[in-house]
Structure 1
Amino acid sequence: MRPTVHDIAAAAGVSLATVDRVLNQRAGVRKVTRDRVEQAIERIGYVRDVAAANLAKSRKYPFVFILPSGDNSFMRGLEAEVHAAMARGPLERMVISIVKVPAFDAEALVAALDEVRATAPAGVAVVAVESPEVIAAVNRLRADRIPVVTLVSDLAGSARDHFAGVDNVAAGRTAASLLGRFLGGRPGPIAVLAGSMLVRDHRERLDGFRAVMDEDFPGHTLLPVIEGQDDPVLTEKLVGEALAASPGTVGIYSLGAGNRGLIAALKQRKDAPPVCVIAHELTRHTRAALNEGLIDAVLNQDAGHEVRSAVRVLKAKADGAAVIGAQERIYIDIFLKDNLPFDEG
């Protein structure tokens, strides 16, 4: 038979109430007594079924998703997937809420993380901006034993529990392989469009892209990175200026989500030579651009899978259960106009 809490109490010479306080990490137990209970747990091999205990108590899981605000199409799609998880929440004993912060604003993100921490949620999922202050805020959550999952963009050096997103270095390498092959030896510089180099996913994509271009397609010069802040108006202006300054540009890698501005800029080049364009995230805008021939390929990550993965991991961490790595792996999809999935919207 598996050891029970009664066995722990007998082995440690304490009451069941004391055992319960130790198991649930509540105050009111002296260190010497807590140590005696923990030693008894280890000695008799007690393994707690946290999920069953929570079910018996009808425990609710308050989870918080911190997302960038604004009209970024991919992020709004991600938010829609969180709302879908919220609708499923009551069936899975979850209460999910959303906090929005300005995109690429580390200071606002730190404030949001600290405010959320004060509410002691069961877990937090966050689209991270990489800065020492954000790392410290995430570590404060973890110090309070609040699980943290980074979503879409990771946070190196932090104590976060899990990253729900694609391998962004591999995504950048894939983009370079596609672009180089599509150009077929046609010489000329390559423009790179990012949202902000403050986020790790954009930097990692650029690192992977640059590595493959240097290794396999050394005849192409990479122009200075255009940072459009994922703002359509700013991006259209900056891309238009960059292409006017470098009319021989033969390719563009859009590694962020500023694709509406990019598409608008491309439509302004009516009589200019065509450029090969690789972009990220399949939205209604990039889908239309693929069909029009303005974009050649789109690398996509499944936002629904990422949100479901974040929820599964947070729940597992809250229950002290194992995370199944293979189930949480997010894959990179490659779409051309020839293999677009059916458009349900």
Structure 2
Amino acid sequence: MRPTVHDIADKAGVSLATVDRVLNDRPGVRGVTRAKVEAAIATLGYVRDVAAANLAKSRVYPLVFILPEGDNPFMRGLEAEVRRAGLHSAVERTRLSVTTVPAFDAAALARAIDVAIAEDVSGIAAVAVDAPEVFAAIERAKAAGIPVVTLVSDLAGSGRDHFVGVDNIAAGRTAGSLMGRFLGNRSGPVAVLAGSMRVRDHGERLEGFLAAMSAMPAARPILPVLEGQDDPALARALISECLAAVPDLAGVYSLGAGNRGLIEALAARPDGALCVIAHELTAETRAALESGRIDAVLNQDAGHEVRSAIRVLRAKADGLPVIAAQERIRLEIFIKDNLPAAPDEDGN
């Protein structure tokens, strides 16, 4: 039978009120008395149920999601999922808020993390930029006792507590394997459209893609990465220039979020003989799959990621273990033939 606070009080020869003060680190307990209570806790092997204690106190968890601003459809989908989760926040004892910062702006992200620290939130979920100032801000959150979850793009080696997202190297390998198989013996180089190589998920996807392509039976040139900053207009210009300059282009791998511009550039190519693989199933990529302008889309479930981040941050705030299997985000592969039904206006 698990020891209780009554057992601690009996063992230490003190009142329940004194045990409560020690467990909650409140003042008003003499040093010698505190030592007796702590010794009783150690002897009995008492483990406090933090979650139950917080429930009894009706604790509310203020959690902040820091996301890139702009018209990136996947990021706006994440934001919509956070706001949808916020509708149930009272029941789940969370208070969710969203802060947006310029995409790929490390200084702005670091400032947003510092603001969250100053507001004494219970947890931070952020789409990370791989930069020293972001690492430093995460360390400041850690020093303040605030758990940090990275979303979509990881910062392994930082003080973050957990990463919520797909295995991006595996995602890149999958894209490379699909590209190689779809192209077969067709000749010609492949272009890569990224948002920015300052975010680790784009670098990891590229790493996996190049590894898979290099393992194909026939070597194929991979052109220098085009960085479109997830800006549709810039992505359209870059792909249009590439199509004009490389008439024998065989394929395009879009590992970022400039897909609207990519699709617009592809629409101007009459033959449609390219193999195109992109990330994230949005209204735009869905339509391009249906029309045949895109051959495959690799997707991650934004709703699952938001729910996972909330569960992880609450567990970390309570000092409870994270259930790894529950928080694993699957990589989904969609082609024209297996598209799920389009969501309604409420995202259902």
Q: TM-score w.r.t. structure 1 length? A: 0.94
Which residue identity does 2:50 align to in structure 1? V
Cα distance in 2 between the residues matched to 1:136 and 1:224? 31
Partner of 2:314: 315
Structure 1 residues 184, 148: closer, same or farther in 2, change over 3 A? Answer: same
Partner of 1:83: 83
Cα distance in 2 between the residues matched to 1:212 and 1:234? 28
Partner of 1:256: 256
Structure 1 residues 188, 39: closer, same or farther in 2, change over 3 A? Answer: farther
1:327 offset after TM fit, Å?
Answer: 0.7
Cα distance in 2 between the residues matched to 1:260 and 1:169? 24
Give yes or no for contact 1:128–1:154 (8 Å, CA) kept in 2: yes
* 1:209 corresponds to 2:197: no
Deviation per CA, 1:316-340: give whole Å up to 9, x if none.
Answer: 1122222111111100100001110
Which residue identity does 2:79 align to in structure 1? E
Structure 1 residues 303, 27: closer, same or farther in 2, change over 3 A? Answer: farther
Partner of 2:150: 150
Which residue identity does 2:158 align to in structure 1? S
Query: After TM superposition, what 4+ stretches of structure 1 lie above 6 angstroms from structure 2?
Result: 27-33
Name the SS for the 1:311 alignment partner.
Answer: helix
Partner of 1:54: 54
Partner of 1:278: 277
Which residue identity does 1:90 align to in structure 2? A
Q: Tell me whether 322-331 or 28-37 shows the greater mean CA deviation.
A: 28-37
Kindly report which structure 2 residues correspond to 1:12-31, keeping only aligned pairs within 5 A, or say none. Answer: 12=12, 16-17=16-17, 19-26=19-26
1:54 offset after TM fit, Å?
Answer: 1.1
Cα distance in 1 between the residues matched to 2:261 and 2:31? 60
Deviation per CA, 1:252-310: give whole Å up to 9, x if none.
Answer: 10001110010011111225x61100000000000000111110000000000000111
Partner of 1:295: 294
Partner of 1:334: 333
Deviation per CA, 1:83-117: give whole Å up to 9, x if none.
Answer: 11100101111111111111100000000000100
Give yes or no for contact 1:187–1:219 (8 Å, CA) kept in 2: no
Cα distance in 2 between the residues matched to 1:259 and 1:67? 19
Q: Which runs of 5+ in 2 are unaligned?
A: none
Which residue identity does 2:297 align to in structure 1? V
Deviation per CA, 1:23-52: give whole Å up to 9, x if none.
Answer: 334567788876664443222110111111
Cα distance in 2 between the residues matched to 1:312 and 1:72? 25
1:7 offset after TM fit, Å?
Answer: 3.3
Q: Which runs of 5+ in 1 are unaligned?
A: none
Which residue identity does 1:150 align to in structure 2? T
Cα distance in 2 between the residues matched to 1:140 and 1:331? 31
* 1:163 corresponds to 2:163: yes
Partner of 1:242: 242
Structure 1 residues 32, 256: closer, same or farther in 2, change over 3 A? Answer: farther
Partner of 2:136: 136
Name the SS for the 2:307 alignment partner.
Answer: helix
Structure 1 residues 28, 76: closer, same or farther in 2, change over 3 A? Answer: farther
Partner of 1:3: 3
Structure 1 residues 29, 212: closer, same or farther in 2, change over 3 A? Answer: farther
Give yes or no for contact 1:151–1:163 (8 Å, CA) kept in 2: yes
1:14 offset after TM fit, Å?
Answer: 5.9
Name the SS for the 2:317 alignment partner.
Answer: helix
Cα distance in 1 between the residues matched to 2:143 and 2:31? 19
Q: TM-score w.r.t. structure 2 length? A: 0.93
Partner of 2:93: 93
Structure 1 residues 227, 38: closer, same or farther in 2, change over 3 A? Answer: farther
Number of residue pairs aligned between Structure 1 and Structure 2: 344
Name the SS for the 2:87 alignment partner.
Answer: helix
1:128 offset after TM fit, Å?
Answer: 0.7
Structure 1 residues 247, 53: closer, same or farther in 2, change over 3 A? Answer: same
Partner of 2:225: 225
Deviation per CA, 1:193-238: give whole Å up to 9, x if none.
Answer: 0001111110000000001111225521110101101000011011
Cα distance in 2 between the residues matched to 1:263 and 1:123? 38
Structure 1 residues 156, 33: closer, same or farther in 2, change over 3 A? Answer: farther
Cα distance in 2 between the residues matched to 1:109 and 1:27? 37
Cα distance in 2 between the residues matched to 1:22 and 1:140? 27
